[in-house]
Amino acid sequence: MSSKIRSGESLRAFMARHYAAPRVVAALSGSFTDEDLRELARRFSAMPAAKPKKPERSAYRPCLTLRRKATEQNQLVLGFPGLETASSERFALQLLSGILGGNASSRLFQSVREKHGLCYSIYSFTAGFEDTGLFAVAAATNRDTEARALGLIMDELRRLLDGGVTEEELSRAREQVKATILMSLESTGSRMNRLGYGELFLGGALSPDELIERYDAVTGEEVLGLARRLLAPETMSFSAAGRVAPEEEYRRILGL
């Protein structure tokens, strides 16, 4: 790293480029007064109003990446295109992730870990950005069991794409999300983050009741349609770190 990157001048230049008024939201939650609001407005009103340069548009592209490391377990990730952070389908995507690998009752957890005992950690997750997104399945396995684990993950993906989700699974995923929303109301920090994130990225923050309505409105057909669009085999990426096998072995297992 060069001295220029570490300098105070470079940090101030970074702040000037990115911490401009149009990109800053002040969110408050908890105990505050009107005077607190006025003081906050006074302090932030001094920020420059320059419009930050819009970054170059990004896009998901499939790839396969391996890295050898002296680790006890291999860390594996299967990636697929996801959704932009403000997509109206983000509620269906979160329920899909919950059903596939989002909790201890999910398909991947029950199959790969509980039934076959091939790993301790396995889960799915999503990441949304302004213009693209990611849906992924992550697992940590021993080198000698990773082929079986990957085969079971692929089986569960095919089973989901072929048969969709059951009403019981959808209802369970909804209730888990609702519980998370309601429990977050006990934290002023969570309330503040929801308000700020909503204003910055979603065009406004939804209330807890509005969020619950969005999840209740998701149907099994919507989840299946989204899964078939995003989790197509030809869009899959794969990365592994650890005592990895040759690239050809992973391509064979995954059908890449």
| pLDDT (tens digit per residue) in 154-193 | 999 999 999 999 999 999 999 999 999 999 888 899 999 9
Q: Between these two residues, 120 and 53, which has the higher pLDDT value?
A: 120
Find, among 239, 252, 249, 236, the residue nearest to 75 by Cα.
Answer: 239
d(CA 168, CA 6): 54
Residues 6+ apart with CB under 8 A from 194: 184, 205
Find, among 42, 13, 40, 44, the residue nearest to 29 by Cα.
Answer: 40
Find, among 18, 29, 77, the residue nearest to 193 by Cα.
Answer: 29
- pLDDT at position 3 is 45
- pLDDT at position 23 is 79
- pLDDT at position 27 is 87
Backbone angles phi, psi at 140, to 5 degrees: -120, 120
Band of pLDDT at residue 2, cut at 50, 70 and 90: very low
d(CA 144, CA 125): 25
Q: Tell me the whole-structure pTM to 2 decimals.
A: 0.86
- pLDDT at position 1 is 42
Q: Calculate mean pLDDT across residues 206-219.
A: 94
